[in-house]
Amino acid sequence: MQEKNWLQRLTKSRHDKLIGGVCGGLGEYRPIPSWCWRFIFAFLFLFYGIGLFLYLLLWIFVPKGADTQENSDRGAGSGRN
C-alpha cells in the first residue's frame, strides 16, 4: 500500500479557523503558516476573482480533521480522583 501524500491527508483544521478551517488545515500540512494562506486567498480574490471559488471548493471537498484535543481531554479526567 502506498503512503498518502500531503494532499490526500489534508483536512480542515478544528482549532485554527476563521471561517471554514481550510487555511488552518493547509497551514498544518504545508510549511507555510495559515495567515499566509489567508493572504494568498484574499489576493487571488481581489485581483483575479478565483480565490473565493478555490476556497469554496476546498471548504466543500476537504474533510474535517479529527478533534484530537477534545479526545485527549476526555480521557485525562476519567478514572482517577
- Going by pLDDT thresholds of 50, 70 and 90, the confidence category of residue 39 is very high
pLDDT of 11 reads: 82
Structural domain includes residue 66? no
Is it the case that residue 7 has pLDDT exceeding 70?
Answer: no
Structural domain includes residue 69? no
Structural domain includes residue 34? yes
Structural domain includes residue 75? no
DSSP secondary structure string for all residues of 7-68 = HHH--B-SSS-SSSSHHHHHHHHSSS-HHHHHHHHHHHHHHTS-HHHHHHHHHHHSPBPP-H
